[in-house]
Amino acid sequence: MNLQKLLTGLAAGLLLYAQTGLGSVWAAVPPDAPKDVKHILGFYYGNGENILIRENNGRLELLYRFAESDKAFGGANIYPLTKEHFDAYLMTEAGPMSASEAKVRFERDPDGYGIACRVGGHTYSRYFFGQGVGERAKAFRFPAHTAEEWTQLRKQAAEAVMPEMLAAGTAAQLVDAVTVAGIKVDSRYALADNCFGAPLYTTSKLMLAKEAAAALAKVQQHLAPYGYGLVLWDAYRPWSVSKLASLALPVNQKGMLDDPDTKGSAHNTGAAVDVSLYSLATGEQVEMVSGFDEPSLRQFASYAGGTARQRYLRDLLRETMELYGFKGIEMEWWHFDYSPSTNWAHLNVEVR
């Protein structure tokens, strides 16, 4: 290959890099953080203030936010911590006119979980969000219903009629998700291991619009060189299931889901998916910043906490999905809508 061809090839590669915006994807995946470090990462509060401790490429950082409305800590000040010895660090704040230092120490419970962070003379208590490495709280569940109550709710949802206005638009041709080569189907609402604590579906089969399935196949191919594949947690959801979920919600938490009688769910169209990643080498699902359906700060797509590896994998997923026609949302890092500008019709077709 002559020099001109080499330069032309490099220029083309740089152009593709710039056009796709996959800067974080091209970087090497960060190494995993040790478990003892993960056990002190998280959200701490006290003195009317909130701080976040995260790992960033082998080093701890303290993030201080000024506005509680900054849910993802995107505008927080970042202070690197220099380790002195186990659970003892030094935080240095340097400026053009002055500099200051503060001792940062962590307290753990007998199981090794961080429960407090002392910064100088101030103590911040740990708030646990949910299950996961470093989080000792139980997985989120809505208040449980009895078997008899679920039977009544299912009957009520099955008898409900989807509003005609929701049927307007392009009706998707649904295909089985297993037709997408390499994708893993882990239907979270087919079993009881979900936020409702009960299965909402009568089958573990997941369907989706054929256009969305074709796009997921491209995502799968794109991810393979990085060593990852897609895990599909949810896809098409019949309108009656959205109605069931809404009926099952406590009265004071009805706003957590879109009203099925006025707006419906994007999942009713077959063009919305909830996805994560799995390792091609091990077949295991990767560790993300938060769990599925975890109503916490960690669910935000731009959440600044966790480990560098977790954030990398979350961003790899998002950037690759959006490269092939999907659009993510800020509230849930796992949720994506295919071709959101299309007026997809809501469907109420039972999956068998």
35-127, CATH topology level: Lipocalin (2.40.128)
Amino acid symbol at 285? Q
Please name which of 267, 261, 266, 287 lies closest in space to residue 276, comparing C-alpha atoms.
287
Residue 287, token pair as written in the block? 């560790």
Residue 33, token pair as written in the block? 């953080």
> CA-CA distance, 341 to 336, in Å (whole number)?
13
Residue 78, token pair as written in the block? 């970042």
Q: Where, residue-wise, is CATH 2.40.128.50 in the chain? A: 35-127
Residue 134, token pair as written in the block? 């470093």
Query: In this predicted structure, what is the pLDDT of residue 131?
Result: 82
Taking CB atoms within 8 Å and a gap of at least 24, the contacts of 26-35 are 27/312, 29/226, 29/227, 29/309, 29/312, 29/313, 30/57, 30/307, 30/308, 30/309, 30/312, 31/58, 31/309, 32/287, 32/307, 32/309, 33/58, 33/307, 33/308, 33/309, 35/133
Residue 147, token pair as written in the block? 């078997």
> CA-CA distance, 89 to 170, in Å (whole number)?
57
- pTM, two decimal places: 0.90
Please name which of 64, 110, 58, 116 lies closest in space to residue 87, comparing C-alpha atoms.
116
CATH number assigned to the domain covering 147-338: 3.30.1380.10
Please name which of 61, 63, 49 lies closest in space to residue 123, comparing C-alpha atoms.
49
DSSP sequence for 118-182? EETTEEEEEE--SSBTTB-SPPP-PPP--HHHHHHHHHHHHH----GGGG-SBPP-EEEGGGSTT
Give the H or E element holding residue 223. helix 210-223
Q: Where, residue-wise, is CATH 3.30.1380.10 in the chain? A: 147-338
Query: In this predicted structure, what is the pLDDT of residue 99?
Result: 66
Report the chain (352 residues): mean pLDDT per 10 consecutive residues. 36 36 62 96 94 97 92 94 96 71 96 96 94 88 95 98 97 98 97 95 97 98 97 98 97 90 97 98 97 94 97 98 98 97 97 92
Query: In this predicted structure, what is the pLDDT of residue 20?
Result: 40
Q: Nearest 5 degrees, angle CA 18-CA 19-CA 21?
A: 65
For 341-350, the pLDDT digits (tens) are 999 999 999 9
The residues near 295 (Cβ < 8 Å, ≥ 6 apart) are: 140, 195, 256
Query: In this predicted structure, what is the pLDDT of residue 310?
Result: 97
